[in-house]
Amino acid sequence: MEKAIEILKQNNYKITKQRTDLIDFLGKFTVQYVSINDIANYMRSLYPGMSNNTIYRNLKEFADIGLVEYQEKDKTLVKYQCDFTHRHHHHFVCKNCGKVTELKACPMEFFADQLPGYTIEGHAIEVYGLCADCTKKLNA
């Protein structure tokens, strides 16, 4: 929470009760994604009149300054930034329990070597499968 507040201040955002409550909720999701609907339901339980626009705007601002990460699949999911010192990183996502594990290496050099003369403008890499705990349960 302290690091998030510091980042908000560095980026000239007001530290409001709504933002700190949102950060507090998102802080529970460092190793798992949460749906925007769940975030909206939580925030509306605290602030019944809060609009979708306010929730989405804050989440976008949080993403822009590196407080949260998005995953776009069947629906948009969000999780609290797991590594403030390395904003650029990749994840392994367990398809069974949803646990997210940060991957330390970036394979872009491998891909860039295969694309001489190309201009790579960005990438997003997630690896999917079963985490060690789910694999162990499956094989038990």
The answer to whether the annotation marks 91 as part of a ligand binding site is no
The residue count for the chain: 140
Q: Which of 79, 84, 86 is nearest to 100 (CA)?
A: 79
pLDDT tens-place string over residues 40-83: 999 999 999 999 999 999 999 998 888 888 776 665 667 666 55
The answer to whether the annotation marks 88 as part of a ligand binding site is yes
The answer to whether the annotation marks 134 as part of a ligand binding site is yes
Is the pTM for the entire model greater than 0.85?
A: no
Domains of the chain are 2-80 (1.10.10.10), 90-139 (3.30.1490.190)
The answer to whether the annotation marks 123 as part of a ligand binding site is yes
The answer to whether the annotation marks 82 as part of a ligand binding site is no
